[in-house]
């Protein structure tokens, strides 16, 4: 019969960190669970008892004990995952957010408020960042920013020179010819 799986001898630093993590209410739940698994194993509990106590399966307990034995505290962290790399750097995302919070008239632009199309055009033409308008919207939502409807059909326009820029109004439909009675 093989020997039961146990955690290797802990250093004083590992012991202190594991105790702190196992009791933490502010750390990530998955990290706290992993620290508890290792902590219980260091106190002599067997895999099945730890699995029942933590509320997970024995396979998961074995995985985290094995990873801790191999890598120490770093083994409790998530491993990097595969997937598509980020398309836009954090500097580019920061530029999008900063630009959206800037008044367009401060940049000598002829409009009073940003739209997604205006942001995309400015970022592409001036900043050299080619980004789709849909992605700009996602970035702004992720940052907790929302669009306000500033120009409406009712009330005063945001742009005080709107009427001059627009020009004279034109009829949208041609006049009807009068018919004989």
CB 76 within 8 A of CB 34: yes
Instruction: Tell me what the mean pLDDT of segment 33-44 comes to.
Output: 94
All residues at 6 or more sequence positions from 80 whose CB lies less than 8 Å from its CB, including other chains: none
Instruction: Tell me what the mean pLDDT of segment 50-60 comes to.
Output: 94
All residues at 6 or more sequence positions from 35 whose CB lies less than 8 Å from its CB, including other chains: 17, 18, 21, 22, 24, 76
| Residue 172 per-residue DSSP state | S
pLDDT band at 1 (very low <50, low <70, confident <90, very high): very low
pLDDT band at 63 (very low <50, low <70, confident <90, very high): very high
Q: Mean pLDDT over all residues of the chain?
A: 86
Ranges 27-36, 76-85, 156-165, most confident:
27-36
Instruction: Tell me what the mean pLDDT of segment 119-142 comes to.
Output: 91
Residue-level pLDDT at 150:
52
Residue-level pLDDT at 125:
93
All residues at 6 or more sequence positions from 93 whose CB lies less than 8 Å from its CB, including other chains: 139
Query: Would you list the domain boundaries of the chain?
Result: 12-76, 90-149
From CA 42, how far away is CA 9, in angstroms rounded?
8
pLDDT tens-digit map of 132-159? 989 999 898 888 887 765 554 555 556 6
CB 88 within 8 A of CB 142: no
Residue-level pLDDT at 60:
94
Instruction: Tell me what the mean pLDDT of segment 92-116 comes to.
Output: 90
Sign (positive or negative) of CA dihedral 116, 122, 127, 130: positive
All residues at 6 or more sequence positions from 72 whose CB lies less than 8 Å from its CB, including other chains: 14
Instruction: Tell me what the mean pLDDT of segment 91-97 comes to.
Output: 91
CB 73 within 8 A of CB 58: no
């Amino acid at each position: 019969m093989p020997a039961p799986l146990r955690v290797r001898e802990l250093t004083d630093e590992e012991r202190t960190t594991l105790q702190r993590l196992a009791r933490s209410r502010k750390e990530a739940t998955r990290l706290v669970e992993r620290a508890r698994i290792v902590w219980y194993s260091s106190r002599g509990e067997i895999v099945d008892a730890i699995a029942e106590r933590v509320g997970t399966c024995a396979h998961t307990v074995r995985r985290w004990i094995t990873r801790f034995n191999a890598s120490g505290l770093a083994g409790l962290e998530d491993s990097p995952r595969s997937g598509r790399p980020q398309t836009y750097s954090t500097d580019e995302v920061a530029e999008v957010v900063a630009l959206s919070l800037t008044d367009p008239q401060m940049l000598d632009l002829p409009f009073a408020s940003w739209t997604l199309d205006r942001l995309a055009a400015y970022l592409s033409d001036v900043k050299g960042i080619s980004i789709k308008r849909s992605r700009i919207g996602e970035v702004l939502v992720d940052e907790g920013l929302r669009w306000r409807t500033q120009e409406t059909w009712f009330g005063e326009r945001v742009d005080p020179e709107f009427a001059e820029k627009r020009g004279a109004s034109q009829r949208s439909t041609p006049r009807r010819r009068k018919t004989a009675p």
